[in-house]
Structure 1
Amino acid sequence: MTPGVPLDQIGQTLASFYDDLITEGVPAHLAALVRRVKQAQPAPVTASHGQARPAGETRAVHLAIVVEDEPEIRELAKTLLEETELQVVGCPSAEEALAVLQQRGGEVALVFADIRLAGQMDGLQLARAVATLWPRARLVITSGHGVRRPDLPAEAVFIAKPWRAADVLQEAERAAREPAPPIA
């Protein structure tokens, strides 16, 4: 694929490989996500909080998704990231984060996720899905428990809990300012 290919086209291409993904051992819930991407209608371009953008506005939106099941920690991370130029959405589960990604994946510059989450998916499974389906998003994974580097996607950055605000802000700045990697 070449840079500039619409995300819905990428999703349709990935969805066309759905049967092969199942055969190759991709977890069923990730393969189901790929299938849903194919079936999803393109969402209208919106500004933060689901409001339509004014006609003629072309500014690119850069979105950060904070995925953390502990409400206090999620709010702390959101408040911290709101000090950057990124718009921020908080999600208590990987499933909620995937719903946001399906609607606004082209706008997502940063996914900041804990490994242990409520719901059926954990942060590592979410990171693998993001790395596969939204490779332009910067992945920052956090945990108060050790994680082996081979468990993380190669593109992911790991920040141990308790994380320092400066480390999170540094990754947010990279996500907002550095050009997204090309889609191979």
Structure 2
Amino acid sequence: MTGGQGRTPPSSVVLIVEDDALLRMLAADVVEDAGHVAVQARDADEALAILRTRRDIAMVFTDINMPGSMNGLELAYAVRAGWPPIKIVVASGRIRLSPAEMPPECDFLGKPYLMSDLTAQLQSLAGRNPICA
């Protein structure tokens, strides 16, 4: 998008897991505005189905409180166990998590968050090296 050298990291595919359709679409817009590709899932079950069929997911951004067989924190642990290189951000407005309560190499974003906070988080993660080569 921009012609700057070395400034914009290569685009990544970001899986957004959010049961609130409006918040999910808003997050997808932010992800795409930041130069990434957004893939959307309504819950952890749908997210896991996507992860099993796509090998291009680089990041997962998930809400914690969701209906279904597992919440977003459980999803984060499942992603870390099954797809170690994927970068993870969990978000919640109801609880605050410390790093000790999350899987390794997982970031937390409190709600309500500014769209600029989400953009900064995505850019930070995109600039990090994968956890496993």
Same fold (TM over 0.5): yes
Percent of aligned positions that are identical: 33
**Is residue 102 from structure 1 mapped to residue 52 from structure 2 by the alignment?**
yes
Structure that is richer in helix per residue: 1
Unaligned runs of 5+ in 2: 1-9
Larger radius of gyration, structure 1 or 2?
A: 1
Preserved CA contact (<8 Å) 1:140 1:158? yes
Q: Distance in 2 between matches of 1:117 and 1:63?
A: 22
Between Structure 1 and Structure 2, how many residues are aligned? 123
Q: Which has the higher contact order (CA 8 A, sep 6+)?
A: 2
Q: TM-score, normalised by structure 2?
A: 0.84
Mapped to 2, the partners of 1:76 and 1:61 lie a distance apart of 18
Q: For 1:72, give the aligned amino acid.
A: L
Match of 2:113 among 144, 163, 172: 163
Cα distance in 2 for partners of 1:146, 1:177 equals 27
DSSP 3-state at the match of 1:135: coil
Residue by residue, what CA displacement relative to the aligned partner does 1:12-61 show, whole Å, maximum 9, x if unpaired? Answer: xxxxxxxxxxxxxxxxxxxxxxxxxxxxxxxxxxxxxxxxxxxxxxxx97
Cα deviation code 1:127-154 (max 9, x no counterpart) = 0011111111111000011233233112
Q: Is 1:70 matched with 2:17? A: no
Task: Show structure 1 runs of 4+ deviating over 4 A.
Answer: none
Unpaired runs of 5+ residues, structure 1, are: 1-59
When the two chains are superposed, the root-mean-square deviation of aligned CA atoms in Å is: 1.7
Which secondary structure state, in structure 2, belongs to the residue aligned with residue 82 of structure 1?
A: helix
Q: For 1:166 and 1:61, locate their aligned partners in 2 and report how far apart those are by CA, in whole Å.
A: 17
C-alpha separation in 2, matches of 1:167 and 1:138: 16
Query: In 2, are the aligned partners of 1:61 and 1:107 still within 8 Å (CA)?
Result: no
Q: Are the counterparts in 1 of residues 93 and 112 from structure 2 also a CA contact under 8 Å?
A: yes
More strand by percentage: 2
